[in-house]
Structure 1
Amino acid sequence: MGNNSRRRIIKSIFWSVCGACLAIALLGIFSGFPESALALKRNPAIDPTSSVHLTMGNPSQATTSLQNPTNYLMLKRTYALSYNRDRGGPNWVSWQLNSSWLGRVQRTEDWNADLSLPSGWDLISPSSYKGSGYDRGHMIPSDDRTKNTRDNSETFQMTNILPQAPDNNRGAWVELEKYARELVRKGNELYIIAGGVGQKGKIARGKVVVPARTWKVIIVLERPGEGVSGVNSNTRTIAVDMPNENGISQDWQQFKTSIDKLEADTGYDFLSAVPSDIQSAIESRVDGEITFFNSRNIFGIGIFVLVAALVAIGLYKFKQRLGL
């Protein structure tokens, strides 16, 4: 083989390699690598003490230790969660919701296995729910993260998903999600925790537990940015506990409960960062129910008692004058 032939072969190989590299680079650009599961895996770890999504506390005291596979803390940019390897899903997901997280981005539908799980753990894939009869139910909803595509994409990681009966997921659950965003559009800031409890079966060849009920806790702050300091004994809280089955009511208000009751059922401490006296005041209430003797309406009760006493005295004196 002559020198010219060898040069032509070397040039051909060189330009082929260059072409392949260019093709890979272009594929990466146009296929959206920055929004992919691989890119999300490369995110730097977030310090638990600085995660805004754990402002109200770490409900189960989850940790990042590999020795804690049933209560494994995972911190994303857009939410925090406790993952349960043995149940194939989250114990709970916690997130902040205010106007800064909302925009006009459409659902990315970027369903993906969470590659940031520890090596050797089963990866639940988007197809794992196929044929199960259950929806891939978001804990933090896609519509709570519409500022940009990256944030929205992160809600489609399977570590944010639980099996939900269609009537649960598409009915009362989604209606409460909409109501929460309405509160934000009115100027409130919310801190939300959601998850499942109990077991009614398994799917994905036994890798994913179907919860018997789904629950949610919402803390409503009227002044955004105050965090724990903005929580007082009058702070509104919403807690719901819904059967994870078809045929249930589509009205989320039918499933309201107290935080105390949810804590008893789950074993979690939902507001662990809030002073204990304030926790006691707000966790025993059911949203919307009237409790007479609390700081919110004690003044009104006092006025009512005073007016009733004056009326009674007036009637008594009137009767005396009439000689009755």
Structure 2
Amino acid sequence: MRNRLYFVLAAFLVLAGCKETEVTPEQPVYTPVSEHVALGNPSNATAEVSDFNNFLMVKPQYVLSYSRDRGTPNWVSWHLSSTWTGSAPRQDDFRADMALPADWYRVSASSYTGSGFDRGHNIPSADRTRTMEDNSATFLMTNMIPQAPNNNRNTWANLEDYTRDLIDDGMEAYVIMGSYGIGGVGSNGAVNTIDNGRVTVPKNIWKVIVVLPEGDNDINRISTSTRVIAVNTPNVNSIDSDWGTYRTSVDAIEQATGYDLLSALPDEIENSLESKVDTGPTR
């Protein structure tokens, strides 16, 4: 009987030793197509022509998702640091983006004329002053939205200036800007579309700014204490010039747009940062 027990025990040990080790599959690693989308591709945009309302366009200076039917970007994403700024003058060469598929309507420099809305940059001209080529790239019409003049020239300009002040103070930032909805109020009143219906006027304009001390290995330096500024403004001319009035959470912007922002971050850090509303200085 004792020998039989020894035999059974030995057989059990042999079988246990031969059992394959279970390996937990690793989560897929996000590999950005550009430094400008290091925090993720918010809408999973692709460069497939069939993805005509979520068409990925990768430029040296920024990355965007474009909507053919709206005639505007869904979102534009870029990295801002001292390496992107310099003394290149503003080019003001608004023009159609010839990188769009040949059979798509291309919004032109004159498409906004007389509309009561500005050609509102997503990535600002002043964020790309390293070279004239970099600055010129910001004037492609795929970077523009119909923006209420006071929104563009006051509220949004103040936020853009504040962001560059942070860069001057030794910080760097990852910025995502977008718009959604239909219908804004420009200098000529409320409008849903311009350019004979070919360009949609957005109802809201938003931006998310992740701020870091300048350095290397940026994504791994982002923590639950990293400053994230999220702003969502109505696209109206009667807007308050203080952008701090319109601060919100990333979660709220995601709920309004259906996008997944900051998706390249570890879940714990992403969830923490996206739930907060910034209370830092505004000037």
Does the TM-score normalized on the shorter chain lie above 0.5?
Answer: yes
1:306 corresponds in structure 2 to none
Counterparts of 2:219 and 2:180 in 1: how far apart (Å)? 26
Contact 1:129 1:204 survives alignment (8 Å): yes
Partner of 2:78: 95
Q: Is the 8 A contact 2:175 2:207 kept in 1?
A: yes
Q: How does 1:10-29 map to 2 (within 5 A)?
A: none
RMSD: 1.0
Alignment of 1:183-262 (within 5 A): 183-200=166-183, 201-262=192-253
Give 1:69's aligned residue: 52
More helix by share: 1
- SS of equivalent to 1:283: helix
Is 1:55–2:46 an aligned residue pair? no
| Displacement of 1:222 | 1.6
Q: How does 1:31-180 map to 2 (within 5 A)?
A: 49-180=32-163
1:234 maps to a residue whose letter is S
Distance across 2 between alignment mates of 1:259 and 1:131: 34
* 1:266 lines up with 2:260 in the alignment: no
TM-score by length of 1: 0.74
Q: How many residues are paired up? A: 242
Q: In structure 2, what is the equivalent of residue 282 of structure 1?
A: 273
More strand by share: 2
Partners of 1:193 and 1:218 within 8 A in 2: yes
Taking the aligned partners of 2:33 and 2:48, their CA distance within structure 1 comes to: 18
Contact 2:32 2:40 in 1 (8 A): no
Amino acid at match of 1:143: A
SS of 1:270's equivalent in the other structure is coil
Q: Distance in 2 between matches of 1:115 and 1:50?
A: 21
Structure 1 Cα separation of the partners of residues 216 and 159 of structure 2: 23
Q: Deviation at 1:104?
A: 1.1
Judge which range, 138-147 or 280-289, deviates more: 280-289
Q: Which has the higher contact order (CA 8 A, sep 6+)?
A: 2
Larger radius of gyration: 1
Distance (Å, rounded) in 1 between the aligned partners of 2:181 and 2:33: 31
In structure 2, list runs of 5 or more residues that go unmatched. 1-30, 184-191
Q: For 1:50 and 1:247, how far apart are their aligned partners in 2?
A: 39
Whole-angstrom distance in 1 between the partners of 2:239 and 2:124: 20
- % of aligned pairs identical? 50
How many angstroms does 1:197 deviate by? 1.0
Query: Unaligned stretches of 5+ in structure 1?
Result: 1-47, 290-324
Distance 2:208 2:33 in 1: 21
Q: Is the 8 A contact 1:98 1:224 kept in 2?
A: no
